[in-house]
Amino acid sequence: DGGITQSPKYLFRKEGQNVTLSCEQNLNHDAMYWYRQDPGQGLRLIYYSQIVNDFQKGDIAEGYSVSREKKESFPLTVTSAQKNPTAFYLCASSKGQGVYNEQFFGPGTRLTVL
């Protein structure tokens, strides 16, 4: 079955540590996205990539980094520079340009900083 996988489902991190969240898709989608969701809030875009080896900052990119070396993979690193990283992180992908195409979401990773 095609879909998006994120790992791990739950992640605990000590303050000051970098951590990388995995996102893999086998939908053959060109575009991939990372969102952050805080309790009772909407989804805020961190980074997005429309093609391999290219990505753009979203609305809240500070303290995060990404890479897009393969079409299937779009890992997100939460660095120690991110002041309040505890949140629910969602990865998504779409077939092409986002304005015309629905986004498919992975199950999410819940990150807690201790």
Of the pair 16, 40, the CB lying nearest another protein is at 40
Q: Which is nearer to another protein, 31 or 78 (CB)?
A: 31
Under rule CB under 8 A, residue 107 binds another protein: yes
Contact (Cβ atoms closer than 8 angstroms) between residue 83 and residue 17: no
Please list, residue by residue across 32-55, b when 16 or more beta carbons sit within 10 angstroms of its beta carbon and e when fewer do.
bbbbbeeeeeebebbbbbbeeeeb
For residue 78, what are the β-bridge partners? 19, 64
| CB nearer to another protein: pick between 1 and 102 | 102
In the numeric block, the tokens 């393969």 are attached to 70
Query: Which residues, at least 6 apart from 19, have a Cβ–Cβ distance to it below 8 Å?
Result: 11, 13, 77, 78, 111
Q: Note whether 10 binds another protein by CB under 8 A.
A: no
Distance separating alpha carbons of residues 89 and 34, to the nearest angstrom: 7
Query: Binders of another protein: how many residues, by CB under 8 A?
Result: 25
Q: For residue 5, state whether it binds another protein (rule: CB under 8 A).
A: no
Residues 29-48 interacting with another protein (rule: CB under 8 A): 33, 35, 40-45, 48
Does 97 sit near another protein (CB under 8 A)? yes
For another protein, give the closer residue by CB, 99 or 114: 99
Binding site for another protein (CB under 8 A): 33, 35, 40-45, 48, 56, 58-59, 90, 97-108
